[in-house]
Structure 1
Amino acid sequence: MGKQATEMLKGTLEGIVLAILAGRSAYGYEITAWLRDQGFDDIAEGTVYALLVRIEQRGLVDVEKVPSDKGPPRKVYSLNARGQEHLNDFWRTWSFLAERIEQLRTQVSPPQRQGE
């Protein structure tokens, strides 16, 4: 993924993670693995874990500690009502921006350079 795509992803990753959690509860590594399976190869686990801490602190998710066969209990995150509201706002904003950007892309021709 190029630098521009990485920067755009940073601005939308919270919404993407909330959308994943709207579908099912998951722990950090599961979320990271799913993102990588979807082609987001450059996302570091640390980025996802830091985001999970932030959305937990903001009260957007519920957290349950679940025993693990491979070490300490896992924190499993699930979207709560406040998180769902936040996700709905994200989708409204995403739709607005996507429509305007597509409109811009299709209706505005790039300026011509002198001599062309």
Structure 2
Amino acid sequence: MAERYTSFEPGGRRWLWQRLTAAFLVIVLAFHFFLLHFLNHADEVTFALSQARMQQLTYFSLMILFLITATFHGVNGVYNALVNSGLSGSRKTAVKAILGVGSLLVIIQGVRTALAWSGGVPI
């Protein structure tokens, strides 16, 4: 029988957060598809309408939360895949630092873009 191997610690929080973020992402993606592919058709989606959506605090907040959640979920998954592949020691530490800095840069740029798109802080 094959031995189950995972870099997640038994009872660890990273395993739980990976599952919770996956569930959240499925819900937000369903909302996205409903709003932008069923409620509005592709030819009806314009920059002005997208900017108007981003000016609503609820939508803006959801998109920021989506950005943070997707970044964590993706980076955590990549990190654990690398650890499962045998990454260890100083390389593991370096990869963790690089992924952490990269995540922060992605989130900062995403928030800057969302703020610019919304015309500033949404009301």
Structure in which a larger fraction of residues adopt helix: 2
| TM-score in terms of structure 1 length | 0.36
* TM-score, with length taken from structure 2: 0.34
